Amino acid sequence: MNKKLVALAVAGVFAAPVAVQAADNVTIYGTLNVNFQSTKAGGATNPANNVSSRTAVSTDSSNIGFRGVEDLGGGLKAVFQCETSANVDGIGVSGICNRNSNVGLSGAWGTLFYGNWDTPFKAVTYGTKVGDPFLSTDVFAYQSIMGSPGFNYRSGGWVATTPGASGDAVKGFDVRASNSIAYWTPKWNGLSGKVQYSATEFESASGAVSPELWSAAVNYDVGGLSLLAAYERHNDGYALGGINSGAPFKFGATNANAVGGATTSKDTAWRVGAGYEFKWGAAGATTLSALYENLKLEQTGGIAGSVAEFKRDAWQVALTHRMGNHELRARYSDADQGDCALVGGGACSTSGYGAKMYALGYAYHFSKRTQGYAFYTKIKNEQNAQYTFSIGGAPAVAGNTPAGADPQAIGVGIRHSF
C-alpha cells in the first residue's frame, strides 16, 4: 500500500489525472547498496606505475525506479519501467531512466518492448543458480574478468552512436544496450529465451560504418538446477581500436579506428553455464556454479601491422553457502592469454596477457530486504595484462590499471531493497 501511495505521488508531479487512474498498477522499487572500501594496485611491471592505497564510499548499482502494467483486454497488457541510478555517495548522477527502462506489450505469447536494457548475454545469469554471489558491479564484480577482453576495457553500456566515440564501455560484453528492441518468450517447463537488437541509428553517410548489437540467450531452470547459453555480436564497435602490435603487444592508440571510413569490425562472445542449489533443511543452502565463455574481436581493413584479431577464453566457479542469517560467498575467475593475428601477417604474441581473480565475502541478512556485508577481492595480472575493476569500481584503479599490476580491494557495506 505504501509503495502505491509513493508511486501515486511521484506520478502526480507529471500528470495527476493519469496517475489517479493508474495508481493501482504502478509500483515504486529500488536498491541502495553502499560500501566503504580501500583499493590499491601494486606489483606493476614498472613499479613506478603502481597505484597507491586509497579509500572511498562507493554506491554499487544503487537505483530507484517505477514500473507499471495496464490491462488492455483480451490477454494483452501494456508494460513500462523507468529506472534511474541512485548514487547515495552524491557522485556521478546523470539523467533519469538511465538504467533498465522500457515500454512495450505483454501477453501469453511473451513480451516485446523498446528501450535501454541489459542484453540477454549479460542478463542470462540473473535470478539463476549461476548468478554472481556478490550481486555487484563494483570492485568485486565478476565483470572484471567475465565479459571483458582486458586491456583496461570495462563492461558498461552499448551506446548506438559514432563508432569509437563512446569510450571503453562498448569493448566489453556485459552491457546495457540503448536504442534497443527486445523479445522475451514465456517460460515453458523451465525453458525460456530472450533476443535483443540495438539499431543502427548512427550509421555513417556512406553506410560503410554501421554500429549495431545482437544478443540472444536461453535459460533452463527447474528445481535446484540452472543451465544457460548466450551469444552476442557487436558490429562496428571497434573493440580493437585501441590495441596495437607494439613490443610488447599492448594497449595503445595506433590501430585504425576507421570512424566514417570503410574499415569494419565484428566482435563476438558466447558463454555457457550451470549451477545447482543443495538445500540443507529450512534455513540452509549451498549453491555451486560454473561459467565458461569465449570472446573474439575482429577488424578488417586496418593499417598494416595492426591487430586484426584477438580472442581469449575465460571461466569461473562460484560458491554461496547460507545458514540462517549468515552467508559465505566465494568466486574464482581465470582468463587465458589468448591468441592474436596482425593485418598483413607477421608474429603476434599474447604472452603474459592472462589474469586471475579471487573474491571472498560474508553477509549477514538482517531481514529479507537488508543485509550487511564484507569482502576482499584481488585481480592477479600477468606481466603484460591489464584486467581492471568493473565499470562501478574505484575510479583511481578501474580503467587505469598499469601493465602487470594487481588491483585489490577490501571493504564493508550495507544493501537495502524496497
For residue 395, pLDDT over 50 is answered with no
pLDDT tier for residue 167 given thresholds of 50, 70 and 90: very low
pLDDT tier for residue 137 given thresholds of 50, 70 and 90: confident
CA–CA–CA angle 162, 312, 117 (5° rounding): 45
Decide which of 18 and 276 is more confident. Answer: 276
Weakest-pLDDT range from 43-47, 130-134, 243-247, 318-322: 243-247
Arithmetic mean of pLDDT, 53-80: 93
pLDDT of residue 147: 92
Nearest to 226 by CA among 334, 331, 124: 124
Weakest-pLDDT range from 11-15, 78-82, 298-302: 11-15
Integer CA distances (angstroms), 356 to 12, 141, 185, 327, in order:
50, 13, 36, 24
Integer CA distances (angstroms), 232 to 21, 115, 154, 156, 269, in order:
41, 18, 16, 15, 5
- pLDDT, one tens digit per residue, over 113-135 is 999 999 999 999 998 999 889 88
Name the most confidently modeled range: 130-139, 269-278, 382-391. 269-278
State how many domains the chain has: 1
Residues 6+ apart with CB under 8 A from 140: 134, 359, 361, 375, 377, 409
Nearest to 41 by CA among 402, 410, 353: 402
For residue 348, pLDDT over 80 is answered with yes
pLDDT tier for residue 264 given thresholds of 50, 70 and 90: confident
For strand 212-222 and strand 225-235, is the pairing parallel, antiparallel, or unpaired? antiparallel
For residues 128 and 120, the answer to whether their CB atoms sit within 8 Å is no
Distance between alpha carbon 20 and the CA centroid of its chain, in Å? 36
pLDDT tier for residue 245 given thresholds of 50, 70 and 90: very low
pLDDT of residue 169: 43
Decide which of 394 and 305 is more confident. Answer: 305
pLDDT of residue 218: 99
Decide which of 17 and 289 is more confident. Answer: 289
For residues 125 and 291, the answer to whether their CB atoms sit within 8 Å is yes
Name the most confidently modeled range: 93-102, 211-220, 395-404. 211-220
- The percent of residues above 70 in pLDDT, for the chain, comes to 78
Decide which of 253 and 192 is more confident. Answer: 192
Nearest to 145 by CA among 291, 248, 250: 291
Going by the DSSP 8-state scheme, the letter that residue 287 receives in this structure is E
pLDDT of residue 86: 87
pTM: 0.87
pLDDT tier for residue 24 given thresholds of 50, 70 and 90: low
Q: Which domain holds residue 189?
A: 2-417
Spell 308-342 as b/e; 16+ CB within 10 A means b: bbbbbebbbebebbbeeeebebebebebebbebbb
Rounded CA-CA distance 318/132 in Å is: 8
Which residue type, as a one-letter code, is found at position 304?
Answer: A
Rounded CA-CA distance 68/76 in Å is: 14
For residue 313, pLDDT over 80 is answered with yes
For residue 46, pLDDT over 90 is answered with no
Arithmetic mean of pLDDT, 353-360: 96
Rounded CA-CA distance 32/65 in Å is: 12
pLDDT tier for residue 343 given thresholds of 50, 70 and 90: confident
Cell 610488447: give the residue. 248
CATH number at residue 69: 2.40.160.10
pLDDT of residue 365: 97
Helices and strands of the chain, counted as H and E runs:
2, 21
